[in-house]
Amino acid sequence: MHPPDQADSVSTNPQLAVWEFAGLLLTYWCNAKCTFCYVYSSPERGGWMNTTDAVTIWRSLDQLAAKHGKTMRIHLAGGEPFGDWPRLLALVRAARDAGLTPLEKIETNAFWATSDGLTRARLEQLDVLGMELLVVSTDVYHQEFIPFDRVRRCVEIARKVLGPPRVRVRWWDFYKRPLDTRRLDTNEKNRTFAQALDRHKDRLTGRAADRLADLLPPHPAEEFRDLNCVKEVLQSRHVHIDPYGNVFPGVCNGIILGNALKQPPEQLWKHVSTNWHEHPVVSAVVAGGSHELMQRAKPFGYRQLEAGYANKCHLCHHVRQFLQHSGIWPDALGPAECYANERAPRR
């Protein structure tokens, strides 16, 4: 449970790596409401990043990477970025017209691929505008909501328009042997999800933590002691930025490093790099992972689950959800879309 290189990283005062990969989470809206979602996207959610803000943030990210001799890689995700096609198209065009680094990829669940003509037309436009890669999500969770024939149509047409190397399918094994999970009863679904979790070691934050953690064997929180998050939070070189400008480290959505609408990412990176020791959540998870975060949350009233936790990220999410719902460290934890437990919805 305690790889030696983690202890070494902590003892040598880890540094914040330069951000080289950034995902713009254009919206929390999604046509689906996947059990596996690492936030709480759904048709009831919203928030859309406007084009001007996106271009401003993108440019600043480009400048940050260039200053350090690197090239920024930008991808667009959500929620579901195709939920507002005119807006998505306008954003990609504006970035291209502004001479920003080429768009690395867009991630989609293909819900919009309802006819051959429409699918081809959209992909051709994105191709002309320089999108390098299309990533299509298909798995036991998405197919509770999206007819598989749309996924197949999107992938097949994308392979013709963009060429096979520029189309990635997440998960390819599922694509080859799809399963319509809409038809399964609750027990069958749970069995299917448990097998999927075993095969694909996905993170458990957001709705996934609430709904899937029970399908994995529990462990006492003490097992996660000193399992620090230096690599994930400081050294991943990756950030996500949501429609409200919140900047999250790596895939740890809901831990706010700062706001890109208030402070350009170039300046924000410098600020975080100098001051992360003062960030209540980052300093805790860097020092001792989610176990340390739990210890720091106890004085605010957090009560450890006696039944245990599926893994360190499940523990982290559970503690952060308590803190966010209690209004503790509001500048460091949010927005509600990352923590809104549907059993006690909060927006």
Q: Which residues bind ligand SF4 (CB under 6 A)?
A: 205, 229, 232-233, 252, 285, 289-290, 312-313, 316
Minimal distance in Å, beta carbon 310 to ligand SF4?
11
Minimal distance in Å, beta carbon 30 to ligand SF4?
21
Query: What are the C-alpha distances in Å from 255 to residues 24, 30, 31, 67?
Result: 15, 21, 25, 26
Rounded to whole angstroms, how far apart are CA atoms 292 and 248? Answer: 19
Q: Which is nearer to ligand SF4, 125 or 235 (CB)?
A: 235
Minimal distance in Å, beta carbon 313 to ligand SF4?
3
Q: Which is nearer to ligand SF4, 68 or 298 (CB)?
A: 298
Nearest to 256 by CA among 179, 343, 332, 330: 332
**Three-class DSSP category at 189:** helix
Within 13 Å, how many C-alpha atoms sit on residue 92's CB side? 27
Q: Which is nearer to ligand SF4, 71 or 273 (CB)?
A: 273
Q: What is the DSSP letter of 320?
A: H
Q: Which is nearer to ligand SF4, 157 or 323 (CB)?
A: 323
The whole-angstrom distance between residue 291's C-alpha and the CA centroid of its chain comes to 22
Minimal distance in Å, beta carbon 224 to ligand SF4?
8
Q: Which is nearer to ligand SF4, 38 or 48 (CB)?
A: 38
Rounded to whole angstroms, how far apart are CA atoms 323 and 148? Answer: 39
**Three-class DSSP category at 27:** strand
Minimal distance in Å, beta carbon 233 to ligand SF4?
5
